[in-house]
Amino acid sequence: MRIDIATLFPEMCERVLSESIIGRARKKGILEINCHNIRDYTEDKHRRVDDSPYGGGMGMVMQAEPIFRCFSQVTSGFEQKPHVIYMSPKGEVFSQKKAIELSKKENIFIVCGHYEGVDQRLIDEIVDEEISIGDYVLTGGELPALVLTDAVARLCDGVLASPECFEQESHFSGLLEYPHYTRPEVWHGRSVPEVLLSGHHKNIESWRREQSLKITKEKRPDLLLKDEKFLDDE
């Protein structure tokens, strides 16, 4: 998979994406992630990429041309147009389901907005979908882009040790994940559940399923209501 991020702060994005699991996957060549500075594609001698909005109002709006020029040059050698995402509080709220869907794409191009956003004509011209990471507003699209990139990239073949690493996690199956325990067996008077010490894999699997349903019902009952297959298990 290849992910390109168009941003005003490429160094900020690189610092995050060069670390941990994603950083190692990039070094191994499993993933290709590139961060492009939109200011490198402006013809303004002061490297400005924004201007005041038509119709008046507070703040500045990112111009369409520098972003479009960045997109055009970066993708000029592609056989087909990449899937273009604009990180926006007006977009569909990001989910594990969406991460799985995007992980099957070959190329993704992410646009990070700033100020009051980007010229609508740029969105109409190249963007395939707008995505939000929650019902709140941040100062720019970089943090949302990093969240999306991490969530999608870790699902790609070879990034994690095996698919089992994420298939039993919260939200992948529609449920929240069961509790985890490690050594010591007793900590601050709290013991590890006996079933986990039994070595009986079928009982352990059953316990984990029950715990996932219980936790989901307590913390996110809306997830159960979304999927009828869980209702019979309650």
pLDDT along the chain (234 residues), means of 10: 98 97 96 98 95 94 98 97 97 95 97 95 98 95 98 92 56 82 97 97 96 95 74 54
What is the per-residue pLDDT for 168? 52
- pLDDT attached to residue 234: 54
Q: How far apart are CA 139 and CA 7, in angstroms?
A: 13
Using only the alpha carbons of the chain, give its radius of gyration: 22
Q: Kindly list the structural domains of the chain, giving each domain's residue range(s) and its CATH number in brackets, ordered by start.
A: 2-153 (3.40.1280.10), 168-233 (1.10.1270.20)
Q: How far apart are CA 55 and CA 89, in angstroms?
A: 22
Q: Which two three-digit tokens encode residue 92?
A: 């569909």
pLDDT at 43: 93
- Please tell me the predicted confidence (pLDDT) of residue 1: 96
Exposure string of 183-198, with b = 16+ CB inside 10 Å and e = fewer, is: eeeeeeeeeeeebbee
**Which pLDDT does position 108 carry in this prediction?**
98
